[in-house]
Structure 1
Amino acid sequence: MLKNTTTRTRLFLLMGVYGVALLLLTAVALWQINVVSGEMGGAVVMMGTAVVLLLILTTACGLYIARTITQSKEVIESTVNDYNRFIERVAKGDLTARLSVNGTDDDLNTLGHNLNGMVESMTRITNQIRDASANISVGAAEILAATSQQAASATENSTAISQTSTTIDEVRAIAEQAFQKAQQVAEQSLYTRDISQIGQQTVRNTIDSMAQIKQLVDGIAENILLLSEQTQQIGEITATVNDIAAQSNLLALNASVEAARAGEHGKGFAVVAVEVRNLAEQSRQATAQVKAILNEIQRATNMAVMATEEGNKGVEVGVQLTGQTGASIQQLAASIAESANAAQQIVASAQQQMTGMEQLAQAMHSINQATIQNMASTRQVELSAQELTTLAQQMEAIVDRYKLK
């Protein structure tokens, strides 16, 4: 402003000098004209008049310039004091302070308008900061409440997940034991199935053997019956021989009688008759022994026939029992096979269940880890919300230092 005033003073001086020079030039021009026209007296008068006017104008310009400089200095000092008081109020936080500026268009008024505009902008910004701080405080409080509730829920979830994980681990251990037991049962079922198959084969072999035994017994029975028939035939032959021996003995006796009657001529015939009688006696004795032997053979044959019949019946019963046993073993084998298949299915299901429990345990472990990380993140958000609340309170405290109304 001082620089502007000095410039204006210099401008006024130049204008005064320019006016004086103009008057001098005018006076000189008029003088020359008068000289040319021969009016020397009028020129002198006019020149004196111009000098007087010039002195008056110069004096007036000097007085005006001095008065202007004095007034500008007072205005500048007053304006600077007003600006200092304004700046002190603003520095102390009073944003209601305003500068009173007139309508003149100079640098000080422009500065005053700019300062008022700056304080108004500061007032608007401070109000916006206060509103934002209040909103931040409310939002931070809501975030803090939400994060606290979320942290509590996350803690409960973590506890529940930990308990669930423990339960799943126990169930997985039980499932593993069930799988091992099912595997043992399956192995035992397979072993039992193999044994039942061996039993079935043994029963089939036994049935075949019993059939062969039955055939052999039937053959023996037929042979014994044939032997019995032949023994009967031998008995009949022996009876015939015994009859012949008796008749021979009778004939020998008659021959002996006739030989005795013949005297000397019948001695040779008597000897033959004695020999024949001896042979007949021996034949009778032999046939008696053969008969006795045949009786023993017949008795033994009858016993053998009865034994073979009983044996045949026993074989038939054995075949029936063996067949029933084979059927029972076959049914048992079918049941064992079904049990083995069921055991295999149980093993497969137990294995799938164990795999599923393992996957579930891993998933629960991952969920637990994620929950722990979520708890840490929630705790971090909670701390950030607390810091944000503190920061908002600090901002409100700073804004409260300013007077806005």
Structure 2
Amino acid sequence: MTIKAKLILLVVLAGAATVGTSLFGIYAELKGHELAEKNHELRIMPIDHVGTSVQLLNQMTTQSLLALQHDPQGRTAAMHAHGIDQHMDIIRDNLAALEDVNAKIAAIKHRQTESNEAQQALFATQEELVNVAFVPLIEKLEEGNFVGAQALLILTLTEVLPSFEQAASHYEGILRGNMEEELERTSERVEQDVLISIGITLLNVLIIIAIAAWIIHGVTRGLKAADRFATNFAEGNLNEPVTLDSRDEIAEIITHMNTARESLRDTLKRIGEASEQLASAAEETSAVSEQTDRGVARQMQEIEQVAAAMNEMTATVEDVARNASDASSSAQAANDSAKHGQTILGNAVNAVGILSDEIRQSSDTIDSLKAESEEIGKVLDVIGAIADQTNLLALNAAIEAARAGEHGRGFAVVAEEVRALASRTQGSTEEIHGMIDRLQSRSNAAVAAMQRAHNQVDHSTQAMSETEAALGEIANGVNGINDLNFQIASAAEQQSAVAEEVNRNVQTIAQISEESAQGATQTKTASAELARLAEELQARLAGFKL
């Protein structure tokens, strides 16, 4: 059993003993309280009730005597400032109270026959006293028969009242005797309970002491085993294990300590083997350190050459970056010129487009003029036909006038004038028709010229558009060149920065090489110290019994 379980058992038993003792004490106290309540209920309370009954009857007797003093025939009636009803009310109230007290006494049932008989005797004498003395007395007083009431009080009440007082005294004496006997029994029970509680407490203490001694014995055995282990460990003896035939926590600790001893023993063995290997490795490390020292020296020479080459490469990269920057500036200027030329060509293309539109409008106007001249020619043809008809009519009129002789002379003159006018009209019409023919011929020539000019303008516009596109491509190409130059410059700057970083790294490597050389020297020294420590470690391990 583990120490924890033992301690839990000890605590549980101690707690159970404490609880058991407390419960027994509580039981004994409750039992005593119960007995006291019974004693109070069965003996003390009846004694009190009997006393109350006697007191009520005595008070009724007193009030009866006071009521008799209210006799009008007597000399004492004038001495009372109150009426007889006051005394009668008190008597009646006492009778009612007496009935309540009798009910309480009757509710008490005694175990002893003597007590019950005394109780019944009390009730009998009390009933006789009330029925024979006080009830008739009250009736006579109510009737005003003071003489009869006084005779009844003197003869009957004085005779029955002592019997009641004797019965009450006898019943009270029996109750007091029973109470004393019960008190003695209660005292004996309390003493018995105290002895039982002491016995239970002593038994619990003995059990707890036995369990505590058992626990202490187990712990002491475990501590002695641990002391043997510590003594062996202090002496360097790791061969002898320590055993403990128990199942508590100390046994587990001893088991773990034995496991640790075995682990330490194996570790020390491995340390011994490792120390031998360490001594051999220290010698090899010393030789390697010498080779490292020589290699670091060669490395420093090569690093110096690399540093010189990096300086030259840095200067070359700076030249490339500078030339790339100049080329980028020139490409930017060419790009600006190409964009300016492209803008001028765009403006020229727009102007030629406007000229083409105006030529097209002029050609349309000439076409309209040609059509209108043709309409005029048609009108002139109509006018010519009219002139021919007029001339023919004038000729006919002249012939008719010649036939008329003298009568037609005036008509012949008019006809001649008409014919002359028709001839001039025909001539003018022919001249106008010639002019219109010439106008149409020239209009056709102008339309053809306009068409050729329009075609030439279209060719020029197309050529300018192609030129503008070519300039755009040139600008784009220049932009590409400019971007490439910028990338070349950026790459050159980055390469320059990288070269400087490499140069710094080379210098750092050179510094590290120097430190490595110093470290190689220190390693050599440390290897010698390590070999010495390995020998010392082997010497110390020899002090353990493995």
2:449 maps to amino acid: S
Alignment of 1:11-22 (within 5 A): none
Q: Which one of the candidate residues 304, 319, 327 is aligned to 1:152?
A: 319
CA offsets per residue over residues 145-179 of structure 1, 9 Å max, x none?
22222222222322332x2243234224324423x
Report whether the alignment pairs 1:138 with 2:312: no
Tell me, yes or no, if structure 1 residue 189 matches structure 2 residue 352. Answer: yes
Q: 1:318 aligns with which of 425, 439, 444?
A: 439
Deviations 1:119-154 (A, max 9, x none): 432221111111111112212222222222222222
Give the alignment's TM-score, normalised by structure 2: 0.40
Whether the aligned pair in 1 keeps the contact of 2:332 and 2:478 (CA below 8 Å) is: no
8 A Cα contact 1:137 1:393, kept in partner:
no
Identity within the alignment, %? 11
What amino acid does structure 2 have at the position aligned with 1:354?
G
1:350 to 465, 468, 474: 468
Which ranges of structure 2 fall in alignment gaps of 5 or more residues? 1-276, 522-546
Deviation at 1:334, TM superposition (A): 2.3
Aligned positions of 1:246-285 closer than 5 A: 283=407
| Aligned residues between the structures | 246
Higher relative contact order (CA 8 A, sep 6+): 1
CA 1:296 to 1:329, structure 2 compared with 1: closer, same or farther past 3 Å?
same
The reply to whether residue 292 of structure 1 matches residue 390 of structure 2 is: no
Q: Give, in angstroms, the shift of residue 398 of structure 1.
A: 7.8
Residue 171 (structure 1) aligned with residue 337 (structure 2): yes
Aligned twin of 1:236 = 399
Structure-1 separation of matches of 2:511 and 2:278: 35
Do the aligned partners of residues 122 and 398 (structure 1) sit closer, same or farther apart at CA in structure 2, a change above 3 Å counting? closer
Q: Encode CA deviations 1:164-223: one digit per residue, 9 max, x unaligned.
A: 243234224324423xx42x3333333333332332322222222222222221221122
CA distance in 1, matches of 2:356, 2:298: 86
Write out aligned runs for 1:88-103 (5 A).
Answer: none
The secondary structure found in structure 2 opposite 1:157 is helix
Aligned counterparts of 2:411 and 2:278: Cα–Cα separation in 1? 173
For the aligned residue pairs, the C-alpha RMSD in angstroms reads 3.4
Distance 1:117 1:218, change over 3 A: closer
Paired with 2:355 and 2:299, the residues of 1 have a C-alpha distance of: 83
| Unmatched 5+ stretches in structure 1 | 1-109, 246-282
> C-alpha displacement at 1:307, in angstroms?
0.9
Offset from partner CA, 1:103-123 (integer Å, 9 cap, x none): xxxxxxx99987765443222
What TM-score, normalized to structure 1?
0.52
CA distance change for structure 1 residues 354 and 228 in 2, over 3 Å: closer, same or farther? same
Q: Which moved more, 1:119-128 or 1:169-178?
A: 169-178
Q: Would you say the 8 A contact 1:134–1:392 is kept in 2? A: no
In the superposition, relative to structure 1, how do residues 397 and 145 fare at CA in structure 2: closer, same or farther (>3 Å)? Answer: farther
Counterpart AA for 2:363: Q
Change (3 A) 1:173 1:127: same
Q: 1:319 to 1:389 in 2, by over 3 A?
A: same
**Equivalent residue, structure 1, for 2:290:** 123
- CA offsets per residue over residues 318-372 of structure 1, 9 Å max, x none? 22222222222222222233333334x33xx524633652464266246415523
Instruction: Give the residue type in structure 2 aligned to 1:300.
Output: L
Question: Which residues in structure 2 correspond to 1:46-125 (within 5 Å)?
Answer: 117-125=284-292
Residue pair 1:172, 1:358 contacting (<8 A) in 2 also: no
Instruction: Give distance in 1, aligned partners of 2:278 and 2:469.
Output: 89
Amino acid paired to 2:431:
E
Which amino acid in the other structure matches residue 208 of structure 1?
A
